[in-house]
Structure 1
Amino acid sequence: MSSTPTAKLRTQPSAGPTAIPDSRDLVVDLIRVACMFAVVAVHLLMMGISVDGSGIGVGNPLTSLSWFAQGTWFGQVMPLFFVVGGFASLTSWRSLQRRGGDAGDYLRNRVLRLVRPTVALYAFLAVALWSATAAGVPGDLLTVIAAGAGVQLWFLAAYLICQAMVPTMAKLHSVAPYRTIAALAAGGVVVDVVRLGLEHNPWGFDSNPIGLLNMVFVWGLLQQLGFFYADGFFDRFARWKLILGAVACYVALIPLTHAGPYPVDMLTNQNPPMFPLILVGLAHVLLVKAVYPVLQGFVRVGWVQKTMFVVGSRAMTIYLWHLPLIIAMFGIALLLRLPFPEPASAEWWLSRPLFYVAAWALVLLVSTPLVRLELAGTALTPGAARPAMWRILTGTVVAIIPPFVVMRTALDTVNATWGLVLLVVAVALVTGNVPDRAWKSPRPVAMGS
């Protein structure tokens, strides 16, 4: 989106000729990029490949670490990602409103930005999985590979749901910000109480789907914290108060997890999301604000800004493709018969930095041509009518279905195929390159023309 007409521009000499609006919070960009580096690192470390006489084994070495569950209180970055996403969403929404846009324009833009890159991934996965099936890859191995390649897709479903809420939640934020936060928190608690209370019910039904309501309450509340961030709410507090607040969040987590019903591991609390993630996200944003001056100095460094630009400008593409590419990297290593140390061994840990660098090199290489889908414009072609609101809403729902199903059942060949079809339909519904009435009543052709 273009900046507002009144926005002043400043140029960072060390970062090249790129002009950056004064209103832009580069620390938010830094957080997004840092979260991306953390996500790639965690997913790489969660993939332990072992090769022995019985065949190829795949496991998660991190679960064997005694400190891992507790470490997720600091390393689980997705709550913070939703907070900074809320900051960006409210900023974009207000900018769009100033230019005369409405909820339909906002949602259409977000669906196109998020779904077009996802279409390419689904097309690749569908072709790859069908080809592997035809080539005779063992079914159990293919199931593991497919499931691993689709782990990250839950985020697309959750984020699209939150994006659909932005116009309404922004209005509620402007009218009753504290009551809105309180209502979301209460909803999250009620959902958890019902879900956990029925976990061992005598009727034998699965209470887990009840927790899916917290995709609205938990992720929505974290997004709402981003609205407060955008309004400068956290800037009102002294550093010691911010740190004290973060400590209070972590202290509150202790009885909830160690003595209460919630898992200590915040990754386990993620799908469906549970209330402790709110405390983790709040703690993280308070700590960010506590060290904000340091981060401001860091983002002025030339190479940091260049890294932020390269990764930030293709963040969605990197997020979607990093897991399939990590799997492909390990597959190539297997074909080359490279040695695979025992997962979680000292040799394994020492080899991870090399694999991490290789993974990023591969991700950046592949994302270079694919990023065009993420950065492609969303403006209507001249003379084209914006799709009707019902089409935009339908396209949004259709776009949510494929990643939502993957989140619930894991990726496989079949849902990669029909998911691709639905995502293409979603893009077609919101694109609007053809005026709505063009297909209903063709313009009559004058005689003799």
Structure 2
Amino acid sequence: MSHRGTVSPAALSQRDLTLDLARVTAVVFVVIVHLLQVGVGYGPDGTIVTNRPAEEQPWFDAATWVGQIMPLFFVVGGFASAAGWASWTARGGDAGGFVRSRILRLAQPALALFVFVAVLLVAASALGLPASLADSAAVGVGMPLWFLAAYVLCQAVVPLAARAHATAPRRTLVVLLGAVVVVDALRFSTGVDQLGYLNLLFVWPLVQQLGFWYRDGWFDRRSAAVLAAIAVVSYLALWGSVTWGPYSPNMLANLNPPTLPLVLLGVAQACLLRLAKPALTALMRTRIARAIVFVIGSRLMTVYLWHLPVILLLSGVALLIPGGAPTPASPMWWATRPVLLIAVLAVLWLASLLLVRFERLGDVGAAPSAAVIAAAWLCVFAPTFAVTIDGLDTVLAVSGAVLLGACVVLLRRGRRSTAR
């Protein structure tokens, strides 16, 4: 999920490492949550059982108030986007070139996944494998792709968001917050859940805007007591919204379509991140922490996109090992989760040696026209948004591979630059 490409250790040392740590932590949280949601094993009668063990636990809803870490990722992403935009414009870059580079850094890694899934699903169909089995696996693989639709939208509006933040920071937050509330009100009053997807235009850009405030030092200028109070008020408002409002107490259920509780979580998590900064700074002075952040952070998009395919693959392999696939949600199943997590991370690291090249931008020359950039953006947004709504299947995998391939071709064939 990193949009910066590979970062050298020297460059890493010049950045706010607590933000890199937060970004890596967010993705590792996602891997762990999905690991606990994929239950594949043998039942007492010897048949294969599939379920979502974590969601069956009485503590799951409460755990999502901590485990739903994506708002923090968008806050940190907002900080990085604001810094990237400032650096880009300081070097004479324009909005088109900036958006083009951000789209490419999302499209190239996603293209590899779409092609991989499309080939597997077409091959499965040709071999006559049960369509239900292939579709179930595809839906699982496609679960994280909602992020691409949301993030490519946020990246496209960074130049506009930066201008709005510079000229009217408070008004920008108020307008976005008002839009979030209006969309939620329309959705829940009409019962048309699809209306909630309009909040892709407001929820995540609003949370990203908090990252702009974080970079400006607003959180640095607040005392620990004030930050703690804001976090407490945010969580109390969150509790009120799920107690008396229409929202689910399960923060993962509030993800798609995105809702107001994610904004409240984003405010609280931004405050907690700043409160934890002294401790996190001390942690990042250790070599092992810096090494982990660098290794995972330099291939974050690969880890995010490919962790579910790897989890499903290893769960399938475990079925072939005697005693390797205990009944999901059984004590033995829970006991084997740490082992599977280590195996997943190890396989992801090996796969990233090949896949990380798709995260690198390289020399692409000058940006193409605004119309071409807009068309390329749509080639990324359309298939990932469709997957968000309907889940991944053979048609979307193939069409997504074609559209993302077209996006990469369009953006890498820009007008050649005569100067670096």
Q: Which residue of 2 aligns with 1:320?
A: 305
For structure 1, which segment, 244-253 or 173-182, has the greater mean C-alpha deviation from structure 2 after superposition? 244-253
Whichever of the two has the greater Rg, that structure is 1
Task: Report the Cα offset of residue 338 of structure 1.
Answer: 4.3
Q: 5+ unaligned residues in a row in structure 1: which ranges? A: 4-16, 200-206, 437-449
Give the SS at the match of 2:319.
Answer: helix
Q: What is the match of residue 33 of structure 2?
A: 42
Q: Conserved in 1, the CA contact under 8 Å of 2:49 and 2:327?
A: no
Question: AA paired with 2:29?
Answer: A
Q: Report matched runs for 1:294-305 at 5 Å.
A: 294-305=279-290
Indicate the residue corresponding to 1:81 in structure 2: 73
Instruction: Determine helix, strand or coil for the equivalent of 2:385.
Output: helix
Moved more, 93-102 or 209-218: 209-218
Distance 1:103 1:240, change over 3 A: same
Root-mean-square deviation (CA, aligned residues, Å) is: 1.8
Does the 8 A contact of 1:108 with 1:392 survive in 2?
A: yes
Label 1:337 to 1:148 Cα distance change in 2 as closer, same or farther (>3 A): farther
Residue 32 of structure 1 pairs with residue 23 of structure 2: yes
Which of 244, 252, 268 is residue 267 of structure 1 equivalent to? Answer: 252
Name the amino acid aligned to 1:43: H
Cα deviation for residue 23 of structure 1 reads 5.6
Q: 2:81 and 2:288 mapped to 1: Cα distance? A: 27
Q: Once structures 1 and 2 are overlaid, which stretch shifts more, 78-87 or 139-148?
A: 139-148
2:385 aligns with 404
How far apart, in 1, do the equivalents of 2:149 and 2:236 lie?
Answer: 31
Q: For residues 154 and 70 of structure 1, what CA distance do their matches in structure 2 show?
A: 23
Which runs of structure 2 are paired with 1:137-152 in the superposition (5 Å)?
137-152=129-144
State the Cα deviation string for residues 237-288 of structure 1 (Å, max 9, x = none).
1112211211111111122102221100010000010001111111111111
Distance in 1 (CA, whole Å) between partners of 2:328 and 2:113 is 29
Within the alignment, does 1:387 sit opposite 2:362 as a pair? no
Residue 333 (str. 1) matches residue 325 (str. 2): no
| Alpha-carbon separation, structure 2, partners of 1:255 and 1:268 | 17
SS of structure 2 residue aligned to 1:57: strand
> For residue 320 of structure 1, what is the amino acid of its counterpart?
L
- 1:335 Cα shift? 3.2
Query: Which structure carries more relative contact order (alpha carbon 8 Å, separation 6+)?
Result: 2
After TM superposition, the score normalised by the length of structure 2 is 0.94
State the 4+ residue runs in structure 1 displaced beyond 4 angstroms. Answer: 433-436
Shift of 1:434: 5.8
Q: For residues 375-415 of structure 1, give each alpha carbon's deviation from its aligned partner in whole angstroms, at most 9, with x where no partner exists.
A: 231541xxxx5311110111011111111111111111111
Letter in 1 for 2:384: P
The 2-side partners of 1:343 and 1:86 are apart by: 38
Matches within 5 A, 1:93-172: 93-172=85-164
- Distance in 1, matches of 2:323 and 2:154, equals 43
Match of 2:394 in 1: 413
Structure 2 residue identity aligned to 1:412: D
Equivalent position SS for 2:336 = helix
User: Aligned partners of 1:396 and 1:22: how far apart in 2?
Assistant: 32
2:349 to 344, 349, 364: 364
Which residue of 1 is the match for residue 179 of structure 2? 187
Q: TM-score, normalised by structure 1?
A: 0.88
Select between 144-153 and 54-63 the one with higher mean Cα deviation: 54-63
Total equivalences in the alignment? 411
Q: Between 102-111 and 61-70, report the one with greater CA deviation.
A: 61-70
**Among residues 40, 50, 57, which one is paired with 2:49 in the alignment?**
57
* Percent of aligned pairs with the same amino acid: 44
Bigger Cα displacement from structure 2, 300-309 vs 239-248:
239-248
